[in-house]
Chain A
Amino acid sequence: MDINKIREDFPILSEQVYNRPLVYFDNAATTQKPWPVIHCLEEGYRRHNANVHRGIHFLSQTATEAHEAARARVRDFLHAASAEEIVFTRGTTESVNLVAFSFGETFCREGDEIVVTVMEHHSNIVPWQMLCERRKMHLKVVPMNDRGELLLEEYEKLLTPRTRLVAVAHVSNVLGTVNPVGEMIAAAHRRGIPVFVDGAQAVPHLKVDVQALDADFYAFSAHKVYGPTGLGVLYGKKRWLEQMQPYQGGGEMIDQVRFEKTTYNALPYKFEAGTPDFIGTTALAAALDFVETLGMDCIAEYESQLLHYTEERLSALPGLKIYGQAAHKSAVVSFRMGDIHPYDTGLLLDKLGVAVRTGHHCAQPLMERLGIDSCVRASLSFYNTREETDILCAALERIRKMF
């Protein structure tokens, strides 16, 4: 991959902060947008804007076709069996909430259990906790080892006849661990238990095939895969989605509305109340085109090399401790440097032009397991370079001497 050429596609990467070139290492929070995505948004509003699925006029037809073509593009990207299984949401968080509500209302009873893991993002914990409170159910937590790998034997022990669903992150947003979701799904399926996979941190970095994984649900956010913000995807197997109650009521999701009884629309519209972000969906399709043109395998290969280089350079710094040493890891390095508080490290890195995230990363139970209250996270993308890693390390050296 010609990284310098690729970087030219991302206008923001040539910005300066505090008179220094921007080094953007906060890709797990959100990714930057390439020109094709920006152009697509602009073109959408300039030339194709009309509400979808209802207008008989030309523009509405064009907009509807583009929106549905985007759904087909997502289906293809995830290798789902049909476009009916692709539901557009506002983001991964809404996707989790949708399943926690609709699956929960339909299939869960008092005394049932939901299994999550200790490394989940709050978004893949709290909706399940809320379901457990509503239905008087129990939340079970899969533990991990000190390297940040889930304990699969413990996981299997947690699967009982009362387990209604397993919710697991494909990739941890803090540790970078790539969880063996295929194996975990197979183990759950042997007991007839469906699995929800939070793919927010996986989709930008590795090839995902929901049929090969045999995932029952798979969610991701457009903005983390170089697409627009405020848009997400929920993949769900047709047989689950068909049985599940709707999530929100409103326009688009209905078949016939009468005050006596309303009937609901077919999949996937049953789960898409209100006007969708039809311009966003076409821009997401442009983002998926962009990454697939680069090639998900090439992206994974390049990022893996950059990750190794970054980890090697960082661990050579005195007092620096990396959190997350899983054998199979994605492009995230979380760390603390000696006694220096991550807030101080992050703040000074920012002044040196390096954008990282600090704090608990919306994973407080994981922080507790690691015995820390916060850490610094550098999250990489294919547009990052070794030179940027060198800038990060030089900045950390300088910061260390300030305390």
Chain B
Amino acid sequence: MSDDKKTKWPFTLEEGLKMFLHGVRHSMELGMALEEITAEGLVVRLPYSDKIIGNPDTGVIHGGAITSLMDQACGLAVAQAMAPDFDITPTIDLRIDYMRPAEPGKDVLAYVECYRKTRSVVFTRGVAYQDNRDEPIAHCVANYMRMGLSKIPWSPRKTTEEGQ
């Protein structure tokens, strides 16, 4: 990640993504953490906890917690794909397929990537899994809209560029 120092961000990609994640209160509430950044995408961890149990009879976590994980992870993949630029990118739509229930007591990981970026829209996809990425719990596609830099009140460029 030696290229990071040349970006317009006044911090590394990892620092920028962590700052983004840590600012999202609900994701912090659920204990999400950035696990890994790869060349194509990234991995976010959702720890198992009692408060995300969906079925009290079985202890299986609620799909909603996985939806939150996927929306958050895909949002980070958008930021990764946008870097060294920065933008506000709300979710336009999100589709999730649940292949099987998550095993109780185990953390869930999300591997996501941005596969296409246009002037207005960023396209992402990913899987949620526990032990093995090839045996996913869920598959997700989500699209995000690029709002345009001018609408960002907290652009990190503020500190590096004039007149913003």
The answer to whether A and B belong to the same complex is no
Residue numbers of A with Cβ under 8 A of B are none
Query: Which residue numbers of B lie inside 8 Å of A, CB to CB?
Result: none
